[in-house]
C-alpha cells in the first residue's frame, strides 16, 4: 500500500483507519519506535506494543472520530475533535485533543488527551 507522507494526509487516514478497524493500514503510519502517551496510563513504546493496543487493549469500540480542527506546523500536527462509540458496553461521546510529532513522514510521538480515565 502506498501511503501519502504529508502529515495532514497521514492524520486524515489515521482516523479513517482506526474507525474502520484496519490495524495493518494504521500501523503503516507510525515509525517502528513510536511512543504513545496518554496521561494517567502506561506509555506505549514501539510498533509491537502499538499493534497489541489496537488489536487487544484499546477500550473503545465501534466508533467514529469527527475532527473539528487540525493544525500542521513544522512536523507537528495538533487535532481537536469528538469521538462517539462504545466503551465497556456503554455508548460514549467525548472530546479529544491529539498531538503528533513526525519524522520522515511517519508518526514518531503521539499524545492523546480526553476527559475519560482510559482511552
Task: State residue 58's pLDDT score.
Answer: 87
pLDDT at residue 4 tops 80: no
Nearest residue to 47 via CA among 101, 102, 108, 99: 108
Classify residue 107 as exposed, middle or buried by CB count within 10 Å of its CB (0-12, 13-18, 19+): buried
- Please give the model's pTM, rounded to 2 decimal places: 0.91
Indicate the DSSP class of residue 9: H
Confidence (pLDDT) at 40: 86
Q: What percent of the chain has pLDDT over 70?
A: 95
Amino acid at each position: 500500500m502506498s501511503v501519502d507522507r504529508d502529515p495532514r494526509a497521514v492524520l486524515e487516514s489515521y482516523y479513517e483507519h482506526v474507525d474502520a478497524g484496519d490495524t495493518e493500514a494504521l500501523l503503516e503510519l507510525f515509525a517502528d519506535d513510536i511512543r504513545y502517551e496518554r496521561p494517567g496510563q502506561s506509555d506505549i513504546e514501539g510498533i509491537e506494543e502499538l499493534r497489541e493496543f489496537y488489536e487487544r487493549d484499546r477500550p473503545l469500540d465501534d466508533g467514529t472520530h469527527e475532527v473539528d480542527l487540525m493544525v500542521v506546523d513544522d512536523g507537528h500536527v495538533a487535532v481537536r475533535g469528538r469521538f462517539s462509540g462504545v466503551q465497556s458496553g456503554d455508548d460514549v461521546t467525548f472530546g479529544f485533543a491529539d498531538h503528533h510529532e513526525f519524522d520522515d513522514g511517519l508518526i514518531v510521538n503521539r499524545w492523546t488527551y480526553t476527559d475519560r480515565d482510559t482511552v
